[in-house]
Amino acid sequence: MTDVAQAVRRALEEDIGTGDVTSQACVPADRRATGFFIGRQRLILAGTEVLPLMFDDPHLCKHDGDTVSDGEIIAEVHGPARRLLECERTALNFLQRLSGVATLARAFAEQVKGTNCQVLDTRKTTPCLRVLEKRAAAAGGVTNHRMGLFDAILIKNNHISAAGGVKQALENARASSSLPIEIEVRTKAELQAALANGATKLLLDNLTPTEAEEWIREISGRATVEISGGVTLQSVRAYAETGADFVSSGAITHSAPAVDISFRLELL
């Protein structure tokens, strides 16, 4: 079973438990209906891949990455009214959360238009929902960074401390893996050590835009540069204009507000 299917199964089990007692008590078992998912604000859609895992043959009127206006129908679902009702909240939870991520991601992407800088997401995701949240961020127009600890080497400050320094960390990483290597530098001394030891991807963390611009001038194209730490929707443009190749923001996934989507049921 895929990560997405597992997430949907767990979410349904969490909500339905031993049964939707309200629908069972109120709604005849043979009653059929159509349900409409409707946007109630301007948003960027994400998460529609969960709908076929909850409903039979849903009809999508909008797709991931599309802009949805207030009042627009996102999708239609058909089937037993009880089934539609018991899946309603879980489906909305996914769509509202993931579309919130996509909507914030689109705002970040719009902020850096006209620069040569790409916005990256991070691993600051909801446990067990990373695949969905990363896909939502991509639907919004930002670039996925590494999916986890397994697909790229990112040497952070604690790795440097544990390895015994920048030089040792880089040498150890190269000796043990052929994966891409990026290294965080916190001081000018670490910056010089990283460059002297052949680092080609640098992470500058918790610098002001002015400081980042100064460091990037010193790097002078010898390595690609990612800026992270405190990058917000309000500051991302300033960081993008420093000459950085990438800016990353955990806010895209960890602080995205849910958007407003409703579900309307009509009897067949």
Which amino acid makes up residue 167? K
Locus of tokens 């917000």: 232
Q: Length of the chain, please?
A: 268
Whole-angstrom distance, CA of residue 221 vs CA of residue 203: 14
Whole-angstrom distance, CA of residue 266 vs CA of residue 204: 54
- CB distance 136 to 63 below 8 Å: no
Whole-angstrom distance, CA of residue 267 vs CA of residue 168: 68
Catalytically active residues, by annotation: 89, 124, 156, 184, 205
| Residue 186, phi then psi, degrees to nearest 5 | -110, -20
DSSP structural state of residue 236: H
- Compute and round to an integer the Cα radius of gyration of the chain: 23
Collapsed DSSP state (helix, strand, coil) of residue 219:
helix
